[in-house]
Homo-oligomer: A and B are copies of this chain.
């Protein structure tokens, strides 16, 4: 068996930043105090301020790395404000590499133990959400043809989720932006996972299709995004060749639900409180019969 302690799931209980051990003495006031997390890693935050001398930084870093190794630390996390990015080159020459960077800060890491790094990686997936808006009265579903695609196939409107946005909210927002149709989240129908995604900077893509209920019917599609947009008979979409394999598949699934009951296809949503974080999260799965809620 092969154990990867540091790379294992840093679930809701990880909170390494709250579990500092003893602080390490700083060499001078210019250089930050490292903090030790419960996995044995050291975190260092460089602060914007007086201009750092690169030679002095290198000397401090070399001394610190030596001490951290002696103390048995497993890794170093270093946050660097963008205005001090000149120091990244020094850190790189000591073996640091980028863990991630966003806006005005980069985070570099150095693995201090033998073998490959066991530090957890950064976000690996973008999430896109499409909305299958079905008008149950007419049996028609809202479809678009993208302007920017070489293959003009009918598909469900959708787009990338904004940071912190719930799956259903992305579907409703994207449908509105692309087609002008207002809608309401009903259920989650399907998820697709695709790796090495060219539109995701080589990362993975999780594409989720939701079932939505229309709240308006007059199309005002976005001409910059869509070539065409219409309400199409669901059965026609399910069996036309002018669509993508995923759209065709989900249209057939939706037709099954429309004819024989949506309980056959829906993953319904329920919100729970997080055990550690105090935040709430959404859980999606097939509806659970009430008889299973309590022990019989």
Contacts and interface: CB of A to CB of B under 8 A. Distances in A.
B159 A128 contact: no
B122 A124 contact: no
Given A2-B177, A225-B8, A196 B98 contact: no
Interface string A149-187: 111010000111111101100000010111010000000
Contact residues of A: prevailing secondary structure:
mixed
Interface stretch (A27-35, A133-141, A276-284): A276-284
Given A13-B151, A176-B1, A256 B289 contact: yes
A222 B9 contact: no
Nearest to A15: B198
Contacts of A177: 1-4, 8
Nearest to A251: B292
Nearest to A257: B286
Given A89-B86, A123-B125, A3 B199 contact: no
Nearest to A252: B292
A5 interface: yes
Nearest to A293: B252
Given A106-B106, A255-B292, A204 B5 contact: no
Interface of A: 1-5, 7-15, 17, 38, 82-86, 88-89, 92, 97-107, 120-128, 146, 148-151, 153, 158-164, 166-167, 174, 176-178, 180, 188-201, 203-204, 206-207, 220, 222-225, 235, 238-239, 244-246, 249-250, 252-253, 255-256, 264-265, 267, 270, 272-277, 279, 281-286, 288-289, 292-295
Given A5-B225, A125-B127, A255-B292, 15 more contacts: A3-B177, A5-B224, A8-B225, A11-B146, A15-B198, A83-B92, A86-B89, A100-B101, A123-B201, A127-B204, A163-B195, A166-B193, A190-B283, A191-B267, A192-B283
